[in-house]
Amino acid sequence: MIQSGLDKVFDWKGNNEFLKSHFSKTFLSGMVPMMLFIVTLLELVGGFLCLAGAVMGIISFDTSLIGIGFFVIAVDLIALFFGQRIAKDYQGAATLVGYFMLSILGIITFRFFQLFWESFKLFIDNLLWDYFSTQNLV
């Protein structure tokens, strides 16, 4: 998503012209610059949240930013899907479905990892508490 967002930033004019022609026969034709800005922002925010979450996951096993990043990416893909359907680009819309499914799988996977990690920490804490309380050290 970062690459796609940066491509839109560095080739704003080309993307804007393409999308103006893509939506020229729809009610969205006058909103192309705003839509391009929103999609670009969502792609960059979602991508950088996933990147920051990966770093945080390595450092502290906290993957919550990845889950939030995947959620932002899912919202972005829904917006793209909506635009493709309005422009009657059904093949483009069908292509996005796979990416959307991957983002939902990412949300589910990282949420499961968070729940597993929290349960594991709770189990270890209880195990240590039980051990030390029987040793009269607590």
> Across the 138 residues of the chain, what is the mean pLDDT of every consecutive 10-residue run?
93 94 91 95 96 91 86 94 91 90 87 78 80 66
* Residue 56 to residue 54: CA distance in whole angstroms: 5
Between 32-60 and 2-10, two packed helices, what is the crossing angle to 10 degrees? 140
Give the global pTM: 0.78
Copy the structure tokens of residue 97.
Answer: 């479905």
Q: Which residues 6+ apart lie within 8 Å of 18 measured at CB?
A: none
Domain with 81 in it:
2-134
Q: Which residue has the tokens 């839509």?
A: 35
Say how many domains are in the chain: 1
